Structure 1
């Protein structure tokens, strides 16, 4: 059997596990009941058949002992004993053995059929019981009684009974075969076994029908829950009946209705918040352009200003730049949230791209680059630059020198041969990131001010870097160095992001829909529609954009 067939069988068993359990429980209950009933019926019939047979044989034997054996002389001959035994056994279906004395202490035996029944066939304990004289009392009026037991000879069942004549006379034993009764009981046992098997099959069929009746609403409920989990909040169940399953369906419908209403309210509020941020960002761009122009003039004239005024001018210039960066970051965030962010793909040499990012921001003296030339990747150069600027700038500002950037390729099994994944690691040599901060370093507006020096960033840089990685179908992870010397940010990107076009055409990004539902189209015509940020030159000031505290 192939592995696929085995997996299909196991999957089927898992899917019907509740059905299997119901069938097994029904079958066990039916089997227990049938076996118990059959056992009781067999036992009762067995006792009835054996009791009837032994009573008939013993009653006939007792009557013959009273009528025939008691009529023998006190000292009978062997011929008389055998003749009487044959008369007693004739037509009764059993054999008789009579024991008398021809003289004191000289017993003689007369058998109806010496080939079938001899004194050796009588168990010693039965002979002892028959020969033992009982004391007379108010509860015992006779010194001798009739005793019997069931025994086997050569694997066949027999009834053996015995008694003696009171007041003197022969001792008699009866020997009756129970083979016919055993065959009748075996036939009864087979009949009861077949009945038990039929009951088991019937219970399995009933269990299957009951399981179908119970599991069909459960299956519908599972399908509805799956659709609800996929975002189809208008999913409802058809309710019929008044049982517990119907009540469960009503509860599900109420829950789905409440969830749909809450999600609609949350979506409306979220959309309103997005519009507010987008509108605010666009409205701030016009005054920010004027402020930026004024601050540039003030900065150019800084050397001619009064020394008392110069610090204030420098503060205004610095804070105006920070405000401008914040507005640009907010606009970028709104693009991601609205799902309008697009990839503009190009074939780039990764090492050259990293070098250009570092050189444009005058970080060459502070950053060590370990990247082999000629590693080509099809990515969005501008978005890769944004990611690198934020990661390297974050390491320089909040980590410790030197900052090392390494680039290498990874294959499907972690081998460089046939590599399809790009790995860029940015490592600093600072104090590292506290464990409680690590899960939040990519959150928007998060600043670990308690563990880092005061940040001049907006708290959006690492978040924007993560979004740009996601739109490529990649990811960024943050961790501390195993030796405790600094933090490591690892950027993983597919070597060819153009494979995301098919997913983008289907309305999903590489993340299967993503957190924000971003598309990943590769149209170059989108470059002009990105706004002012998309067309900006990567000068030295861009490296400070959106740099988070780790």
Structure 2
């Protein structure tokens, strides 16, 4: 007899995978997950291969030992039976065979002298029976093979693994050559299955430990990598906040160290560039301030002379020569413009230097606007819509500058009448100045508050300095307010001034900030 392997067709369920796309905002989390997935894949693969190899080795070793013992028992005991044994002889022989070292169950099948099939098993009436043998195995055992040069025997030993009630069994069978009983063997593989289960649990625990170890390793690696990145982020934020002296400590020669060096070089170049720009800006402000102060002395003398000339022009005696009267009037006009320009420049330098301060007082809005209009003889050209009794705590002089610039700009570039309305919104003052002119072109709107911006496609060139609206906006900002420019749907331009009713809180915060700034400046020096 020779061995011929048999096998069980296993069913392998199909797998339907679902792809989950997870978006992680944390680089640390992504590193830990990637490390964990790699470690899990490696551990599962290694554990699976180790389990499969050990499983095959354990089952093959147990199987070979059982089949050798069964074949030997068939030759020693079943081969000694007569050609047509009785059932008692089969029962006795099966019991003898079952007492082998492997302790398997035996079933012998033969025909007695009356050609009747008789059975003998090692377990009595409730023992191993023919129904416990798979039909395919019985067919293979009883099938007679052709004897050839490659196949010397007509019958072979066949085996098959089966599972009943969760317990694995090895079933084998063979037929005696030359006549005699057919023998079947049933061997439980439960001890081997328990060993394999223990091995699976051990490999699972090892996989879990490997996963935990990889997560800890990933955490350590992420900390090593992300700590310099975190420091770089903090330094970049400080640099963005204007702290240009921020630098990173560089250690090592890796890519992160090179990145830190590049950051330090960039910060140093930026600090130098900003310092140069600040120096040039300070020099420009000092130049404007010095020039304005230097111009005031000769301008005062010129103004005095111009006032005398203007009185002569208005005098009834007509002492000014008519030939030079236009020139005198031009000098008077341009001197006034020069005086306004110098005053505006000095005001601008105060804003740029941060020395502009509020002098607060209780103001009645209706009286303040009326006084502003009356002082400039605009009563006939301005319609005022303001209730009396709306009081606020503001700087009257700066409010007058804002109103004068807005109303004067509307009268100069828009159409009469100019309407000024006052209302309260969420404890804020809202003053709207609307003209009836052609409006402001859309491409000019973003630039109306720019310094020296006077060009317009629809309006004539201004005779002013181009600083009025800019100064008005600065005065609104120092109050904690704002000015916006827009075109009215009904035609004309609308400038909207929004101011807090009480600017006292703003001045207190400014004074506190100056104290802190002076303290820090002293420490820095």
TM-score bucket (shorter structure): 0.7 to 0.9
1:111 aligned to which of 118, 121, 128? 121
**Matched residue of 1:143: which SS?**
coil
1:463 aligned to which of 461, 470, 480? 470
CA distance in 2, matches of 1:138, 1:317: 137
Q: Is 1:506 aligned to residue 521 of structure 2?
A: no
* Residue-by-residue CA offset, 1:461-484 (whole Å, 9 max, x unaligned): 111111111111222222333x36
CA contact (8 A) 1:399 1:429 kept: yes
Number of the residue aligned with 1:430: 437
Deviation at 1:97, TM superposition (A): 1.5
Q: Is 1:241 aligned to residue 252 of structure 2?
A: yes
2:63 aligned to which of 30, 54, 58? 54
* Residue-by-residue CA offset, 1:30-57 (whole Å, 9 max, x unaligned): 2222222222222222222222222222
CA distance in 2, matches of 1:148, 1:429: 108
CA contact (8 A) 2:440 2:493 kept: yes
Deviation at 1:373, TM superposition (A): 2.2
1:493 aligned to which of 499, 503, 506? 499
CA distance in 2, matches of 1:401, 1:134: 122
Between stretches 428-437 and 269-278, larger displacement belongs to 428-437
Number of the residue aligned with 1:546: none
Between stretches 491-500 and 163-172, larger displacement belongs to 163-172
Q: Is 1:479 aligned to residue 489 of structure 2?
A: no
2:73 aligned to which of 53, 64, 70? 64
Number of the residue aligned with 1:194: 205
* Residue-by-residue CA offset, 1:38-82 (whole Å, 9 max, x unaligned): 222222222222222222222222222233223322222222222
**Matched residue of 1:295: which SS?**
helix
1:331 aligned to which of 342, 346, 349? 346
Deviation at 1:150, TM superposition (A): 2.0
Q: Is 1:355 aligned to residue 370 of structure 2?
A: yes
Alignment of 1:243-282 (within 5 A): 243-282=254-293
Taking structure 1 as reference, are residues 122 and 448 closer, same or farther at Cα in structure 2, changes over 3 Å only?
farther
Q: Which has the larger radius of gyration?
A: 2
Deviation at 1:279, TM superposition (A): 0.7
- Larger relative CO (CA 8 A, sep 6+): 1 or 2? 1
Number of the residue aligned with 1:8: none
Structure 2: gaps (5+ residues): 1-22, 518-525
CA distance in 1, matches of 2:405, 2:115: 125
Taking structure 1 as reference, are residues 471 and 31 closer, same or farther at Cα in structure 2, changes over 3 Å only?
same
CA distance in 1, matches of 2:458, 2:147: 109
| Alignment coverage as a number of residue pairs | 489
Number of the residue aligned with 1:161: 172
**Matched residue of 1:144: which SS?**
coil
**Matched residue of 1:348: which SS?**
strand
Number of the residue aligned with 1:374: 389
CA contact (8 A) 1:158 1:178 kept: yes
Q: Over the residues paired in the alignment, what is the CA RMSD in angstroms?
A: 2.6
Number of the residue aligned with 1:123: 134
Number of the residue aligned with 2:33: 24
Number of the residue aligned with 1:534: none
CA contact (8 A) 2:249 2:260 kept: yes
Deviation at 1:298, TM superposition (A): 2.7
Taking structure 1 as reference, are residues 200 and 301 closer, same or farther at Cα in structure 2, changes over 3 Å only?
same
Number of the residue aligned with 2:12: none
Q: Is 1:149 aligned to residue 164 of structure 2?
A: no
**Matched residue of 2:456: which SS?**
coil
CA contact (8 A) 2:438 2:458 kept: no
CA distance in 2, matches of 1:164, 1:96: 13
CA distance in 2, matches of 1:173, 1:456: 121
* Residue-by-residue CA offset, 1:367-423 (whole Å, 9 max, x unaligned): 333323222211111111111222222222223444332222222xxxxxxx3x222
Deviation at 1:103, TM superposition (A): 5.8
Deviation at 1:230, TM superposition (A): 2.7
Structure 1: gaps (5+ residues): 1-13, 412-418, 514-550
TM-score between the two structures when normalised by the length of structure 2? 0.86
CA distance in 1, matches of 2:191, 2:441: 90
**Matched residue of 1:301: which SS?**
helix
CA distance in 2, matches of 1:388, 1:299: 28
Q: Is 1:84 aligned to residue 98 of structure 2?
A: no
Between stretches 259-268 and 201-210, larger displacement belongs to 201-210
CA contact (8 A) 1:449 1:455 kept: no
CA distance in 2, matches of 1:454, 1:296: 27
Alignment of 1:519-534 (within 5 A): none
CA contact (8 A) 1:432 1:484 kept: no
Taking structure 1 as reference, are residues 96 and 447 closer, same or farther at Cα in structure 2, changes over 3 Å only?
farther
Between stretches 440-449 and 499-508, larger displacement belongs to 499-508
CA distance in 2, matches of 1:318, 1:336: 27
Deviation at 1:15, TM superposition (A): 13
